[in-house]
Chain A
Amino acid sequence: MSAHRNIGRRLALASCAAALTAFAGQAFAQPRAPASAPASPKAGAPIDLTGYWVAVVSEDWRHRMATARKGDYESLPLNANGRRTAGDWNLDADNAANMQCKAFGVGGLIRQPGRLHVTWSDDDTLRVDFDAGTQTRLLEFASTAQPSGEKTWQGFSRAQWQRPPQAGGGPQRAQIGNNTGPIAPGGGGRGQRGGPELSPALAEGGSLKVVTTNFRAGYLRKNGVPYSESASITEYFQRLPDAANGDVYLLVITIIEDPTYLNEPFYTSTMFKREANGAKWNPTPCRTAPPPAGTQQTRAPEPLPR
């Protein structure tokens, strides 16, 4: 046993050393990589997502700001089962069954009008609070974090930073624009393979990829359009380059694949604008306003494939 333990320790230390060496190599071999290697996802975050963000509902307004009528499936690539299930939506029944948060689960929450409050709960966990429905999502960077046995509205989210190649040793030549400085003479003037020096802007930023599992079935939209527990939900959080007027925007790209109810991947991208503080932070319980009376006839699916 002790021999085994020794072997285990030796293996662990060796692999650790290897990992550290690889990490050091990556961090220092490239002149444009960050000067100091990120010690943790928090310290090495390529973009700052923390702060208060408000949703700007300029798209899908009638489905997001209002509650659309039952049967209004505009834009959704629903299959027959999805349409049938959405057609059975009954808001009163949901409320009676204490299922008010079904429209505030991970598959639909990002589309709710509301604000995000993003903070680091520890070095490996980015916390996203939503005032709409008073929901919290924990985005876990550490592979040691594992989902609990119980499925929740927000599920378990695995996070990973994605960095531009320049930040991690990508091409050092000028093929990607943003050229500054004089043309290198003879194609090798800077010890490169020709081309002007690259702009530091190429090493800016990055994005946060989040894959969520272990969630309860919920609604893509307030009016009972379903997603199932077996759906695959992938998100990319992008902080956009600051606007000329000082506005800072966050784009959240959401890809939901759910063969149970959808016949193709469902794509949305949701815009948020940064706010200076939480003055307008307004937590509200899970609640869906009643739709207008009647049922909406959605036009035939048209070009979207059946």
Chain B
Amino acid sequence: MRALVLCGALTAALAATSAHAQIDITGEWATKAHEDFDDRVPGDVQGDFTGVPMNDAARRFAESWDVTRVNLLEHQCQPYNVAHIFRGPMQFRIWTEKDPATQSIISYREYLGTYQQFRTIWMDNRPHPPDYVPHTNMGFSTGEWHGDILTVTTTHIKKEFYRRSGIPSSDRTTLVEHYIRHGNLLSHVMIITDPVYLTEPYLNSEEFVQMERGNQNWLYNCEYVMEVPMDKNRVPYYLPGMNPFIQDYAKKFGLPFEAVFGGAPTTYPEYEPKLEQLMKGR
């Protein structure tokens, strides 16, 4: 009997070491926004800066941010950049481009339904371009596999936002992504460094489920029109200290604004008791 037990244990140990994970990330994937839904899908009141390691420059930008600036002709069709677009509700397709001579993967390609963006993730070890070439919304990406994790590094990204609440991103952003698949779930990690607006890397992770029926209404035509009658060259903004809506989120959810606007220190466990103190009596 002892022999049987020993054998069972040994066999179990072997089984435990023999499972193989998925590595094929191609297919069509749809967002599951089970984290930060209100920010990522419909958008909430102005002023959700929680969890972002923003610096003082980003705070000043956010204080000046007037959401109606996006109504300007040249802004209204500006897509989310690659460091932001995965946060929204999205379906995207991944497929491979293979070298016919070797069947090795030259690149992964992505078509992102939101804003109809295309990406190429080069797998052939090519260098990133020099600084003087144009930056794009999707940037320039190179990838490499580490076991079952596809790690992608993207540079040459156009400036945009980390949040629609006015947390800016700069054109010096570097995005590192990790694609991880388990069954029909694709986890997508974003580690964002931005020396202009962040004090430390900004960490995001999103989940996508594989779509059984894909390719539905994936086109996005945005037409520039004068949405709201205004001087074409007017730039909506608030002078420092004059933004009447910046604390709306803090007020709506009973949070101290200094915590909502606090940046990196508020993202670590040590901040929890401080926050409780700040919230006492609210």
Contact = CB atoms under 8 A, between A and B. Distances in A.
A114 B124 CA distance: 40
A62 interface: yes
B180 interface: yes
A175 B97 CA distance: 10
A241 B153 CA distance: 12
A200 B124 CA distance: 15
A244 B176 CA distance: 10
Interface string B23-46: 100000000111111100110000
Q: Is the interface of B mostly helix, strand, loop or mixed?
A: mixed
Contact of A267 (B34, B204, B259): B34
Contacts of B194: none
A98 interface: no
Given A163-B20, A292-B282, A240 B147 contact: no
Given A57-B267, A142-B9, A294-B254, A176 B21 contact: no
B16 A41 contact: yes
Chain B residues touching A, range: 35 or more
B107 to A, nearest CB: 9
Interface in B1-57: 1, 3-21, 23, 32-38, 41-42, 50-53
A194 B100 CA distance: 11
B144 interface: yes
A177 B255 contact: no
Given A175-B104, A243-B176, A206 B21 contact: yes
Interface in A271-295: 271, 280, 282, 289, 291-294
Given A114-B269, A240-B149, A292-B254, A170 B185 contact: no
Interface in B229-282: 253-255, 259, 266-272, 275-276, 279, 282
Interface of A: 8-9, 11-13, 15-16, 19-20, 22-23, 26, 38-41, 44, 46, 54-62, 65-66, 68-69, 72, 74-77, 113-115, 124, 131-132, 141-144, 159-168, 170, 173-180, 183-184, 194-196, 199, 201-207, 209, 236, 238, 240-241, 243-245, 247, 249, 251, 253, 255, 266-271, 280, 282, 289, 291-294, 296, 299, 302-304
Given A26-B18, A280-B269, A289-B279, 17 more contacts: A11-B4, A12-B3, A13-B3, A16-B6, A26-B14, A58-B204, A59-B204, A74-B36, A75-B35, A162-B19, A184-B102, A240-B189, A241-B146, A267-B32, A268-B35, A270-B205, A293-B282
